[in-house]
Structure 1
């Protein structure tokens, strides 16, 4: 029974996390659009500074930096967990380092995107 429940639970958790992130990003963008629409409907003039501040909320370059740092932190945490568990059970180090490598490489990729995007805008 555990052979079925654990993998299904792990997959469901990953799907749930992706859905939550997507859902709240959608709600954030929708709120910004509604705010801009309400301001225009009320006849307010949106100056350049206000539009730039609203654009910073969904700036992909800043989001890449945040994601990169977050993925690196998760990967380092998994690696640290592998070392801690591996100190008692030697066979746990390699699998946990393998698991840790995925978020570390994702984090490095996002940091690369952040650096490349920053260079393009400068």
Structure 2
């Protein structure tokens, strides 16, 4: 089973079949952690002052960002797991060259959009 993919999307390390359970385990842990974190937006570190007037909007935007990133990470992990199985079965060569740039655009795009919305809601 491929255990690591290089920046080009091609596997560059291999491990036992048991490693197939690692990513779902990490994904479940992250899902649980981000679900708990999203329940406490007042603990988030905002780059601007949160006042009584803007707190509700800021907390909503913060929760939206965490929930969106959680969904993106779960889909990302599902795709990596699917691709890992496809490579192990000889049906694919890797994740594809576009995987890393697309992933970075989606994740950082979500963060930037939420930061801009939060800035406007100050």
* Greater per-residue helix proportion: 1
Would the TM-score normalized by the shorter structure come out above 0.5? no
* Bigger relative contact order, structure 1 or 2 (CA pairs below 8 A, ≥6 apart): 2
* Greater per-residue strand proportion: 2
TM-score by length of 1: 0.37
TM-score by length of 2: 0.37
Larger Rg: 1
